[in-house]
């Protein structure tokens, strides 16, 4: 197996050990390919023995290589475009002629072309996990030095568990009187169900079935363990998503037993002793339907005369680390889940209810252990200092966002009124101070409203709403951001390994694509490697209230990188923060639990902190929880798509007003704002003109008419086809095409590419143009 090269300095043949030289571009690229973990500017300068002016030369060279697309920055490391991370999630897809397992990355950006092949190397003497075709694995990758084969080799670190304890499907009654389960997932086999094992299920029901031992021949048998209900109910839809994405949703008995055995923490129950903060009027502000509460807040004027107008902000977070210890059954199950998953009808929690909704939930007027941070800010919103404390606290009142906001707006109800003057008003004063700091920092400020599905009692869709964005929401968000920053700063200062939440700046390729688009609406984006969120905010401000407002917001959003977890700090571009870690939600995110443990170890707050074994696994844990986060997002999105599709099943041939939410070579995605659902309009149905995909303008443009459809256009569409279980809608475009400004140059390029493609293949027209 190929391995990482050491960090020893690189030396050209014929040079002395003391000589420095300026490496060629090929030599820089070769070194980065062989040493992806040592590819920062400092590491490169050290490897090539560059000093003084040569380091300045290297900095300029690397910037030029980024501008030309030869390199891209990722996690403060320089990578070649298309290089796989050192730790990556792979899908094992086949075997080669020699029987070697072949895998591809589970996620791969479409703009990078075909995903690279990875050869899975098994360890000697059968050590380590042994995957098979169809498995999803976490693996360490290495460049393959053998020519002609897969681009990488990989060593498997972990095989992701599959849901083997239950299968989801629809019960069918056979002509011979028997019963069979037709699985929702095609890869699952059908199961025979004996009448004695139906457990009340009726034909057509969506059911969960536990496979039983079966004879060597014939279909396997199963037993119904739960009747989920009608295929059109939300309960059924979310269960389909849970199974199709392999989300663990049943806690093993050992985990439940361990959770039930936990006893409430006490003031004198830890080796270091807790501070008693029960008299401090901390309060929780959450959604009205929240079942667990993991953060409480308080603010007061700073009494220090040297800080006029300053405030003291306090954030207390549930002390999950007091109950979930490293290496326990609870801990292993929490890591496997990575995070809680939220569906319109249910939550699949990271931790059992005994922990999440009881012992760790900051319930009103009940003693709860917490890890708290006290932060002092100047009147301008600049954090001057902070300190962490392990405490016993008591939430003095539980308020919803609407309750807290109404009280501030002069309509306090009987629950909020007693806390208005001495708790809520100082909190809002504190928020105004933090807001000044935020405005000075200028994080990325996209205006993209979030939609929420409201259900009827039977679990079907009632309506889709856009909840008001209140100052109460912004207050809690800003308090949490500052607490997260304080956690990262403290751990860095103590040189304690941790998991960061990082968000890279847009890649050079995405910057260039955005730059091309902005020219079509009369805007520009400066070139250079040091892009800042304030530059995007200037663009958003320039189009605010104009016809291009939503279009530009959408395109800027699509240009952004995806936030992930990493043991290496690369800062958070969107929030414009140099160091950031998730600390405020340990009930629902494993990353936060890791940060809590790190703080406990670094500050000597107890014996239940991070272990050395955990420190050595932070890269693996970061990759795992980044993958489970994406898995949860995909499952939640699929549930909404299926639910809305079922809701619209009776409205075939109706016409709706929608907005174009995506443009691809194959056609247009159109979102119905009143439902939050996306449907597809194939390019072949658009009309009599030849339609060409204009990537720079985010448009589909008629070659003859120069008219077409553009991202964010408002259009009329007719619903012509629905596949509820796939969550897909197909529309027919009813609106006429409109002139697409700024597309002429890029359209000319697109036509040139199309003609070049046609000249290379027999048979005529490409798929991106059509005639009815």
Complete DSSP assignment for 698-756: TEEEETTT-EEEETT-EEEEEEEEEETTTTEEEEEE-SPPEE-TT-HHHHHHHHHHHHH
pLDDT of residue 683: 93
Give the pLDDT band (50/70/90) at residue 363: very high
Cα separation, 517 vs 736, whole angstroms? 23
Rounded to whole angstroms, what are the CA distances from 485 to 492, 571, 618? 11, 11, 19
Is the pLDDT reported for residue 205 higher than 80? yes
Q: Spell 158-192 as b/e; 16+ CB within 10 A means b.
A: bbbeebeebbbbbbeeeeeeebbbebbeeebeebb
Question: Is residue 328 within 8 Å of 254, Cβ to Cβ?
Answer: no
Mean pLDDT of the chain: 85
Give the pLDDT band (50/70/90) at residue 183: confident
Of 49-58, 217-226, 287-296, 636-645, give the range with the top mean pLDDT: 287-296
pLDDT tens string 109-168: 766 667 888 888 876 555 667 787 778 888 888 887 777 778 888 888 888 765 556 788
The residues near 663 (Cβ < 8 Å, ≥ 6 apart) are 669, 693, 698, 699, 700, 709, 710, 711
Is the pLDDT reported for residue 717 higher than 70? yes
The mean pLDDT of 334-361, rounded to a whole number, is 94
Which of 317, 348, 347 shows the shortest CA–CA distance to 333? 348
Is the pLDDT reported for residue 760 higher than 60? no
Question: Is residue 352 within 8 Å of 371, Cβ to Cβ?
Answer: no
pLDDT of residue 597: 98
Q: Spell 707-724 as b/e; 16+ CB within 10 A means b.
A: bbbbbbbebebebeebeb
Cα separation, 652 vs 227, whole angstroms? 30
Calculate what percentage of the chain has a pLDDT beyond 90: 44
The residues near 509 (Cβ < 8 Å, ≥ 6 apart) are 69, 72, 81, 111
Token readout for 726 is 């796939």
The residues near 67 (Cβ < 8 Å, ≥ 6 apart) are 508, 527, 529
Q: Output the CA torsion sign for 36, 37, 40, 42.
A: negative
106-110, 288-292, 348-352: the lowest-pLDDT one: 106-110
Token readout for 741 is 């400004």
pLDDT of residue 748: 55
Is the pLDDT reported for residue 458 higher than 80? no
255 SS3 class: helix
Burial (CB < 10 A; 0-12, 13-18, 19+), residue 225, is: middle
- Reported as type and span, the H/E element at residue 391 is strand 383-394
Place of tokens 């259900």: 455
DSSP state of 362: -
Cα separation, 634 vs 631, whole angstroms? 5
Give the pLDDT band (50/70/90) at residue 214: low
Which of 362, 354, 325 shows the shortest CA–CA distance to 260? 354
180-194, 319-333, 439-453: the lowest-pLDDT one: 180-194
Question: Is residue 229 within 8 Å of 206, Cβ to Cβ?
Answer: yes
CB atoms < 10 A from the CB of 512, how many?
A: 17
CB atoms < 10 A from the CB of 125, how many?
A: 6
pLDDT tens string 465-484: 888 899 999 999 999 999 99
The residues near 767 (Cβ < 8 Å, ≥ 6 apart) are 665, 666, 683
CB atoms < 10 A from the CB of 656, how many?
A: 21
The residues near 181 (Cβ < 8 Å, ≥ 6 apart) are 167, 169, 170, 171, 172, 190, 191, 192, 193, 207, 209, 222
Place of tokens 């023995």: 49
The mean pLDDT of 384-408, rounded to a whole number, is 97
Cα separation, 256 vs 328, whole angstroms? 12
Which of 719, 714, 735, 734 shows the shortest CA–CA distance to 648? 719
Cα separation, 222 vs 225, whole angstroms? 9
Q: Output the CA torsion sign for 569, 574, 580, 585.
A: negative
Cα separation, 364 vs 289, whole angstroms? 15
pLDDT of residue 235: 74
More confident residue, 400 or 82: 400
Calculate what percentage of the chain has a pLDDT beyond 70: 87
């Amino acid at each position: 197996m190929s391995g990482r090269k050491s960090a020893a300095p690189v030396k050209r043949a014929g040079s002395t050990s003391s000589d420095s030289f300026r490496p060629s571009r090929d030599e820089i690229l070769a070194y980065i390919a062989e040493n992806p973990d040592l590819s920062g500017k400092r590491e490169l300068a050290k490897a090539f023995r560059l000093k003084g002016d040569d380091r300045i030369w290297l900095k300029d060279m690397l910037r030029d290589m980024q501008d030309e697309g030869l390199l891209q920055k990722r996690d403060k490391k320089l990578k070649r475009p298309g290089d796989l991370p050192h730790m990556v999630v792979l899908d094992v897809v086949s075997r080669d002629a020699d029987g070697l397992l072949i895998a591809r990355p589970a996620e791969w950006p479409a703009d990078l072309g075909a995903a690279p092949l990875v050869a899975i190397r098994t360890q000697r003497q059968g050590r380590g996990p042994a995957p098979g075709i169809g498995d999803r694995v976490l693996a360490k990758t290495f460049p393959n030095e053998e020519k002609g084969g897969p681009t990488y080799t990989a060593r498997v670190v972990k095989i992701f568990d599959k849901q083997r304890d239950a299968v989801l499907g629809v019960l069918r009654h056979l002509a011979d009187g028997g019963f069979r389960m037709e699985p929702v997932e095609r890869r699952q086999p059908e199961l025979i169900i004996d009448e004695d094992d139906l457990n009340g299920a009726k034909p057509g029901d969506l059911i969960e079935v536990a496979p039983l031992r079966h004879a060597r021949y014939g279909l396997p048998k199963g037993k119904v363990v739960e009747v989920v209900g009608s295929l059109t109910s939300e309960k059924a839809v979310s269960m389909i998503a849970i199974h199709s994405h392999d989300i663990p949703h049943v806690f093993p008995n050992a985990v439940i037993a361990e959770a039930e055995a936990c006893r409430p923490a006490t003031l004198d129950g830890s080796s270091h002793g807790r501070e008693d903060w029960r008299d401090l009027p901390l309060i929780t502000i959450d959604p009205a339907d929240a079942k667990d509460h993991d953060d409480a807040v308080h603010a007061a004027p700073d009494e220090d005369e040297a800080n006029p107008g300053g405030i003291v902000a306090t954030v207390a977070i549930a002390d999950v680390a007091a109950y979930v210890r490293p290496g326990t059954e609870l801990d292993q199950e929490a890591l496997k889940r990575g995070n809680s998953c939220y569906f319109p009808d249910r939550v699949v929690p990271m931790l059992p209810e005994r922990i999440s909704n009881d012992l760790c939930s900051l319930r009103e007027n009940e003693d709860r252990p917490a890890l708290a941070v006290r932060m002092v800010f100047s009147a301008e919103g600049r954090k001057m200092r902070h300190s962490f404390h392990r405490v016993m606290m008591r939430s003095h009142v539980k308020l919803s966002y609407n309750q807290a906001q109404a009280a501030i707006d002069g309509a306090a109800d009987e629950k909020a009124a007693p806390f208005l003057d001495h708790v809520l008003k100082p909190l809002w004063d504190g928020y105004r101070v933090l807001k000044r700091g935020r405005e000075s920092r200028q994080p990325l400020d996209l205006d993209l409203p979030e939609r929420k599905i409201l259900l009827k009692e039977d679990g079907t869709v009632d309506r889709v709403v856009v909840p008001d964005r209140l100052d109460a929401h912004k207050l809690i968000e800003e308090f949490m951001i500052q607490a997260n920053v304080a956690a990262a700063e403290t751990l860095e200062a103590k040189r304690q390994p941790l998991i960061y939440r990082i968000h890279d700046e847009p890649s050079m390729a995405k910057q260039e694509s955005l730059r091309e688009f902005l020219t079509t609406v009369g805007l520009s984006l400066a070139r250079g490697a040091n892009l800042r969120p304030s530059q995007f905010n200037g663009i958003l401000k320039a189009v605010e209230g104009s016809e291009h407002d939503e279009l530009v917001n959408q395109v800027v959003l699509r240009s952004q990188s995806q936030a992930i977890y990493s043991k290496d700090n690369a800062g958070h571009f969107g929030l414009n923060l140099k160091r950031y870690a998730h600390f405020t939600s340990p009930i629902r995110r494993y990353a936060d639990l890791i940060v809590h443990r790190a703080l406990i170890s670094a500050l000597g707050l107890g014996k239940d902190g991070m272990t050395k074994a955990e420190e050595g696994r932070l890269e693996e844990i970061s990759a795992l929880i980044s993958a489970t986060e994406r898995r949860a997002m995909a499952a939640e999105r699929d549930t909404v798509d299926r639910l809305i599709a079922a809701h619209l099943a009776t409205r075939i041939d109706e016409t709706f007003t929608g907005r174009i939410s995506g443009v691809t070579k194959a056609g247009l995605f159109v979102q119905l704002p009143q439902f939050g659902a996306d449907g597809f309009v194939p390019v072949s149905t658009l009309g009599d003109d030849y339609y060409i995909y204009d990537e720079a303008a985010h448009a589909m443009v008629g070659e003859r008419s120069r008219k077409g459809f553009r991202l964010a256009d408002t259009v009329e569409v007719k619903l012509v086809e629905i596949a509820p279980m796939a969550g897909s809608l197909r529309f027919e475009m009813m609106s006429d095409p409109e002139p697409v400004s700024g597309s002429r140059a890029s359209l000319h390029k697109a036509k040139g590419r199309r003609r070049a493609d046609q000249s290379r293949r027999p048979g005529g027209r490409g798929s991106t143009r059509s005639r009815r």
